[in-house]
Amino acid sequence: MDRTLMDNLNIRKITIGDSKMGMTYQLGIKYGKVKVTSIIRDENAFHLWGAIHYLVYAKDIESGAEGLWKYFVNQPITVELDITKKNDGTTTSP
């Protein structure tokens, strides 16, 4: 699978619409017969068309096939990044 898009934000979860009542997609969570494997902000779409695209990739649990599952264009989206706590108590975005 070609994933040449910038994945430098380390997105862990996105919520489409209202941050409390919207639809949430999170890494590693199963939605029906698929499991979310990555969430990417498509920087190329922004540079080419000025549109903010978020791409959600998922893997079919039964067949193992993986690919683009959903995408969202110019929607109100809350983004949660993956932050890892170090042993010294500081945090970093991996």
Q: Are 91 and 84 in contact (CB under 8 A)?
A: yes
**CA 68/CA 50 separation, integer angstroms:** 21
- pTM for the structure as a whole: 0.78
Q: How many CA atoms lie within 13 A of 29 on its CB side?
A: 10
Give me the tens of pLDDT residue by residue for the chain, a chain 94 residues long. Answer: 344 444 456 899 999 999 899 999 999 999 999 999 999 998 888 888 888 899 999 999 999 999 999 999 989 999 998 877 555 555 555 4
Are 41 and 6 spatial neighbours (Cβ–Cβ below 8 Å)? yes
CA distance 77 to 37: 19
Identity at 60, one-letter amino acid code? D
**CA distance between the termini of the chain:** 22
